[in-house]
């Protein structure tokens, strides 16, 4: 019988964590839809925060650092502003989010 190495255990554990986080993300989205239907702001906030947290943790398990994910999000927000994303044109949401990300929150 072949012994399982510590590296193999780590890989297996990581795969299980990734699968668990994927299901957590789906659960957060499901909770968000239900919360929107019920109109509960606190439940909506919980679902959104849970989804964001899960995305960051899933990224880390997939080898993407928090900082790299932050950088990518900032880049995408900036690019969407330049390309005049519809939500930016209608509401200025992306500019507000960019100010939030850069710490310039006076106009949010």
Return the number of other C-beta atoms located less than 10 Å from residue 21's C-beta: 20
In terms of Cβ atoms closer than 10 Å to its own Cβ (0-12, 13-18, 19+), residue 89 is exposed
Map tokens 């957060």 to a residue.
28
pLDDT band at 104 (very low <50, low <70, confident <90, very high): confident
| Segment 23-78, tens digit of pLDDT | 999 999 999 999 999 999 999 999 999 999 999 999 999 999 999 999 999 999 99
Q: What six digits make up the tokens of 76?
A: 């995408």
pTM for the model stands at 0.83
Cα–Cα nearest to 23, from 51, 64, 60: 51
CA angle 22–65–45, rounded 5-degree value: 50
């Amino acid at each position: 019988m072949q012994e399982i190495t510590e590296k193999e255990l780590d890989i297996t554990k990581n795969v299980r964590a990734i699968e668990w986080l994927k299901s957590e993300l789906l659960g957060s989205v499901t909770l968000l839809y239900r919360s929107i239907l019920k109109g509960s702001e606190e439940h909506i906030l919980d679902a959104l925060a849970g989804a964001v947290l899960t995305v960051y943790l899933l990224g880390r398990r997939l080898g993407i650092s928090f900082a790299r994910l932050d950088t990518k999000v900032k880049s995408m927000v900036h690019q969407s502003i330049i390309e005049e994303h519809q939500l930016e044109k209608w509401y200025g949401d992306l500019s507000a989010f960019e100010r939030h990300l850069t710490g310039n929150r006076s106009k949010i």
